[in-house]
Structure formats: C-alpha cells, structure tokens
Chains A and B, each alone.
Chain A
C-alpha cells in the first residue's frame, strides 16, 4: 500500500533562518506531488506541484521554493524565513489526473 511521510511534525524557526521540509511517498511511482499551506485551520493554498522529477510549478510567488530530486521526494525550502511563513504545511500525492489527493500529517511551522 502507499504511504506518505512528512517531517518534521513541528518546527520553530527564527526570522531569517533557512527552511527545509521533506516529504516522501512509498508504494507508488511517478506520483503527482503537492505542497499546500493552511492558515488558521481553514482553507488550503496550493504552493507548488510537480508532475515529474525536476518539474515544479509555482502557484503563488513568495519566499519559498520546491524541488523534486527523486521521483518520490518533494522538498520545500526557504533561504530566509519571514514571520508570514508561519502556518501548517501539507504535502500530498495523487496518481494521475483528477485523482484524489493523499495527504501527509503536516508540519506546523512557527516563525518567531
């Protein structure tokens, strides 16, 4: 069966520090991968999605970047965090077009 791992679960970082969140998927190949951010437990904002290795599409211009160095690995990064980067970050995968998303358990990021 397929599983998705996302870490760390919580993170507290000072303003101006770098960020690296990692997500890996097991049990499937060539998944679509996504990074979402959720503010205050409400709606999800799509940040990045990827349909293949090295193929990244950015939805919202901002302080973050994403990379997909391997088929089932998706990384969210920042060189210098801002206070506004605080939030709940969710990684997800899907198999194919218009298929359901399968989410990781999320990372709670607090920038202080």
Chain B
C-alpha cells in the first residue's frame, strides 16, 4: 500500500487564491519531499523537509511537517494559472538497509488554477 496519501485528490481554485494540499503517511520517515508534475512530463522536485524540521519555505511554497500526526501540508500562495499540475508527496524511510534511498509516492493532488 502507498506510504503517502494526498488530500484532496483534486483542487480547483481561482488565480490569486492559496492552495493547500495535505499528505499523510504511516511509518517513521527520514524526510518528506514534494514534487510537481505537469501533464505528460516527468516529476520536478519542489522541496525536501527533514523529520527534525517543522516548516520550510521556498518562494511561494510553504511546507509543514507534523511527525506526531504523520502528516505534511504544501501551501502555494497567490496561485497562478502556471501552477496547474499534479502535486505528489514522497517519503524516505527512516532507516536504509534494503530500502536505501528509495522514495514512496502518494497518489497526488491534481491542482487546477483558473485564470
């Protein structure tokens, strides 16, 4: 089963509004990452937050991590039509071993920003 689950599955907003996507996971993690995917393309890494961090910013992106609730959120402020894409969270397990460096992805949130 998937480690990360995003919520909502789809989000439709107007340009200028904020978009919030949530991710829940099941097991202890080393870090959690957010990726963006434009239709028919590869994924692009947005931000990485480590398990000992609670919040991280990058431009219009704000990511929070609550390890006690095993959840994370991605906030995109002042959204633009160009932000339209699918957004995925991915978790890196706490310990390596046979899971060395691999990420487990959620099902994604499809964000549509209307101009």
Contacts and interface: CB of A to CB of B under 8 A. Distances in A.
18 contacts: A32-B100, A32-B101, A43-B105, A43-B107, A44-B88, A49-B100, A92-B43, A97-B101, A98-B31, A98-B101, A100-B45, A100-B48, A101-B33, A101-B43, A102-B45, A103-B43, A103-B44, A104-B42
B102 interface: yes
B103 interface: yes
Choose among A6, A97, A104, A105 the residue with the greatest number of B CB atoms under 10 Å from its CB: A97
Given A92-B43, A98-B101, 16 more contacts: A32-B100, A34-B102, A41-B86, A43-B106, A43-B108, A44-B88, A49-B100, A49-B102, A51-B100, A51-B101, A92-B42, A97-B96, A97-B100, A100-B45, A100-B48, A108-B40
